[in-house]
Structure formats: structure tokens, C-alpha cells
Chains A and B, each alone.
Chain A
Amino acid sequence: MGAEDANLLARVAGGDLGHPLEELYDRYAGRLYGLGLRLLGDPGLAEELVQETFVRLWQSAGRHDPQRGSVASFVFTIARRLAIDLQRRPSSRPFAELEADQGPARDPGDAIDQLLVGLNVRDALDSLPDGQREVLELLYLQDLTQRQVADRVGVPLGTVKTRAFYGLRALRQTLRARDIDV
């Protein structure tokens, strides 16, 4: 998926604003929108974050070096800067209230970094083979037992266990490749 993303971005950099751009949008918009909503507390600003991230992604697409970082990191780096800018805009009241709740000295960058870890985890989960991702989500995020997951997915219990095992290992590998301590 990473190499595929890099290929799409390279085509965007080359001026193809058709399918490659649409594909990148479909892959990243959900997570960017989720980031915007959690961070900015406002659907309008979240939409602005998504839109402006893609404009800047296009502007800097030619500078992405796949040897130095994934497209996901590249996208979220752009989004992070934009989110800080949007937070500082005087009209971004929801965030101002959020900040007040959490204490006045809080650096908006810290909150964003925490959310970016969440985005990277989501991204890493989504990069797993479907079977592994599904098992991990049901087991942990929906808190089902292994037996319940086996019934839900319609596979033997042993398959649930092996998928969870290889899924977790792959997840760790993916996150470490993104410099997230695991």
C-alpha cells in the first residue's frame, strides 16, 4: 500500500490530477476529516483542513522522497501544520474552549502529535490484510471474546488466534517503520 501511495503521489506530481488524486483522496480524506473533527471541533473547519491539505499535497507532491518517509507521514505532516494554523485562527472557537478545558499552557502541537499517533495506528491497521484487521478490531476495539469473533467472522477459533498473532506482529512492524515507539 505504501509503494502504491508513493506511485499515486508521483503521478499527481507529474500533473495527473485525475484518478491518482481521487484515489489519494479516497484513501486519506476519512482520516484527515476525523483528525479535523477531533482537533478543531467543527465540521466546517474539518472540511477546510481536508481540502487545504490536498491543495498543499499537490503543491509539494514533487518533493516527496519515498526513501525518506511514507506518503502517510507526508500527508499528516502537512495536515499537522495546517491544523495548528486553523487552531490559531481567532474564529476557531471550539478549539479555544478545548484548550481552556485542558489548561492554558498546553501546546497545540502536543495535542496534534497525540492525534497523529492515532491516525498512524488507524493507518497501520488499515494496511493489514483484511482478515487480520477485522479480527483485531473485533477483539480489541469492539471487545469481543475470541470465540465471539470466530462466530462473527465464521472461521475456526484457531484462525482467530493466528490472525490476531500475525496481525499484531505486522502492526508493530508497520508502526516502528513510522518511528512510533512500540
Chain B
Amino acid sequence: MSEPVSPHVEVAAYVLGKLEADEVAAFEAHLAGCADCQRQVAELRGLPELLATATPTIPVPDPLRDRTLVAVRQAAARAGPAPAAEASVPAAEAGVSAAEVPAPVAAAPARRPWWRRRWLVVAVAAAALVAALAIPGALLLRGGGGEVTRLTLVAAEGGRGRGQVIVTRTAGGRSFDVRIQGLPPPAPGSLYELWAVNPQDTLERPQRVSLGTFTTAADGSARLTAFTAAPADRFPVVGVTLEPVDGNPARTGPRVLAPGPSG
């Protein structure tokens, strides 16, 4: 019941390898005498290989949309007027020259104190952001209420793991929605402890409050929500240490995750 189709359009099925053997023979007979089809075959021949490289469309985690929009608006709020005003420079590569795309954030110097690495950035971010993002937590103010800050955690020197923390201002303080990845489960008799930390904190003069303890799953992941009423201006950053189960509430163990770049 196939309706008549111009032999020329068989070019597509031909280069895609979708013709049956008898159809291939018929089309090649046509091809031999058709300069137009020969040109089309030559032009389209490379496409199947490229088609195979097409990136599959992957569902994006829903919360990322809000976080990304918040991050852009936060950056805009920090920067003041729109950046368009300052830029009318002709661009080269893909419509923009190398010098004009903001440089990537440099990796943190290895030897700086862990809490000092990016606390300024984090603190500025915390002060600037005005937006609401739905995360779990009974104390959460929705709508125009909670300021949201996204922090990251990176492996301390020589360690493993990373994490993301969404901090939401609530009626009672702050709520921390924490996702950890790649952090091996703690050895028996020990656990991980999440802290809200003051940048002046040292082992000798601790200035930190515990946000609770946790372990990770076999795949190194953990998901937890923590709350504190400790003031954000005094304890703006977060970190993770490895602590013995000894009943001592103070930090005694090594740092495991340190503040990374703010979101």
C-alpha cells in the first residue's frame, strides 16, 4: 500500500542503511544515472556517524532548576546593574572571546587553613541571596520567607568525598539540607560530625557548633537535614570531621570535608 515516492528521497534511507537488499539494488541503479542523487549521497554520507554521537537527553534533577535560577539572581544582586551596560566588545570565538568569559574559579590553595579557604565568598553569598527554595524541614518558611544559600563541601587534604549543602533561613534559625557523595563509611567506633563553623575557629580555641553526626552508605553517600539556631554571622560555614564515639561533644578528630566554592 505504499504510495508513489520519488526515488530521490530514498537517498536518506540509503545513507542510513535502511533499505532492503532489493531496494538497495534498485536505488543504486537509479543512482548511477542521477547526478543529483550522487551529490546528495556525497553530502549526506557523513551524517549517520555524527547522528550516533548525539547526546541523549537526560532528565535533570528537579531541584537544580531552582538552585540555578537562584544562583544567577544572587550573582546579579551582588553585581548591581546588568552587565550588558559594560560590554559591547566584538567577540571572536563562538561570539565571545576568551578574555571576556569570566575566568574559571581557581582551585583552593592546598595549605591554607581549611575553614579559611572560601569563607569570605560563602559569607558574602549568604548575605546577598534573597530567594526561596522548597526543601524538607518543619521550620522552613516558604514563599517570600527563607533566604537560601548553596554551599559546597570538598575533600580535605588527602581525603575523599564531596557534598552540597542548601542552607535555608527559617523562623528558628537555619536549616541545612546536606548531600554527601564519595565519602567512605567511617571505621567502626567512629562517625562523621557536621559543624557550623566560625572562620576564626582553631583546635585550641574552638568556635563551632555541632549540626549532628552521621554515617555514609556503602556507596559513600548520605543525605541529611540539620537545624541550628546558632547565628549565621558567627558560624557562616560548614565542615565535616571524623570523630570517635567517645561521649566527648568537642571536636577532636581530623577534618574530612572542608568548605568548597559557594554555589
Interface residues, chain A, with chain B CB atoms under 8 Å away = 13-15, 17, 21-22, 25-26, 29-31, 33-35, 37-38, 42-45, 47-48, 50-52, 54-70, 73-74, 76-78, 81-82, 84-85, 88-91, 93, 114-115, 117-119, 121-122, 125, 136, 139-141, 145-146, 156-158, 161-162, 164-165, 167-169, 171-172, 175, 180-182
User: In this assembly, does B226 line the interface, its C-beta being within 8 Å of a C-beta of chain A?
Assistant: no
The answer on a CB contact under 8 Å between B91 and A54 is no
Residues of A within 8 A of B154 (CB): 89, 91
Residues of A within 8 A of B29 (CB): none
Interface string of B85-104 (1 = CB under 8 A from A): 11111111111100011101
The answer on a CB contact under 8 Å between B5 and A69 is no
The answer on a CB contact under 8 Å between A158 and B4 is yes
Residues of B within 8 A of A139 (CB): 13, 16, 18
Extra contacts besides A17-B73, A63-B100, A117-B50 (13): CB < 8 Å: A13-B82, A17-B76, A33-B61, A34-B56, A51-B263, A52-B71, A58-B75, A67-B95, A68-B95, A90-B107, A164-B9, A167-B12, A168-B12
The answer on a CB contact under 8 Å between B181 and A34 is no
User: In this assembly, does B219 line the interface, its C-beta being within 8 Å of a C-beta of chain A?
Assistant: no
Q: Which of B40, B81, B87, B160 has the most CB of A within 10 A?
A: B87
| A51-B67, A180-B50 as given contacts; A85 in contact with B5, CB under 8 Å | no
Residues of B within 8 A of A141 (CB): 51-52, 54
CB distance from A84 to the nearest CB of B (A): 7
The answer on a CB contact under 8 Å between A122 and B102 is no
CA distance A26 to B160 in the complex (A): 33
The answer on a CB contact under 8 Å between B82 and A15 is yes
CB distance from B195 to the nearest CB of A (A): 19
- Nearest first, the 6 closest Cβ-Cβ pairs linking A and B are A69-B95, A62-B84, A85-B104, A15-B82, A73-B94, A164-B12
Residues of A within 8 A of B61 (CB): 33, 43, 47
User: In this assembly, does B46 line the interface, its C-beta being within 8 Å of a C-beta of chain A?
Assistant: yes
Q: How many residues of B contact A (CB 8 A)?
A: 79
CA distance A119 to B86 in the complex (A): 31
Question: Of all chain A residues, which has the CB nearest B106?
Answer: A85
CB distance from A29 to the nearest CB of B (A): 5
| A14-B82, A63-B87 as given contacts; A54 in contact with B71, CB under 8 Å | yes
User: In this assembly, does B53 line the interface, its C-beta being within 8 Å of a C-beta of chain A?
Assistant: yes
Report which of B15, B54, B75, B182 forms a contact with A59, defined as CB distance below 8 A: B75
Report which of B72, B93, B100, B107 forms a contact with A55, defined as CB distance below 8 A: B72
Report which of A50, A52, A65, A182 forms a contact with B60, defined as CB distance below 8 A: A50
User: In this assembly, does B124 line the interface, its C-beta being within 8 Å of a C-beta of chain A?
Assistant: no
Interface set, chain B 1-57, CB cutoff 8 A to A: 1-5, 8-13, 15-16, 18, 40, 43-44, 46-48, 50-57
The answer on a CB contact under 8 Å between B94 and A54 is no
Residues of A within 8 A of B83 (CB): 13, 58-62
Question: Of all chain B residues, which has the CB nearest A51?
Answer: B68
CB distance from A72 to the nearest CB of B (A): 9
The answer on a CB contact under 8 Å between A125 and B95 is no
Question: Of all chain A residues, which has the CB nearest B53?
Answer: A118
The answer on a CB contact under 8 Å between B107 and A62 is no
Question: Of all chain A residues, which has the CB nearest B161?
Answer: A91
30 contacts between A and B (CB under 8 A): A15-B76, A22-B65, A22-B69, A29-B60, A38-B55, A45-B162, A47-B64, A50-B68, A55-B71, A55-B75, A59-B75, A62-B82, A62-B88, A63-B87, A63-B100, A65-B95, A70-B94, A74-B95, A74-B96, A82-B104, A91-B160, A115-B55, A121-B53, A141-B52, A157-B3, A161-B10, A161-B13, A164-B16, A168-B15, A172-B47
| A54-B71, A74-B96 as given contacts; A81 in contact with B53, CB under 8 Å | no
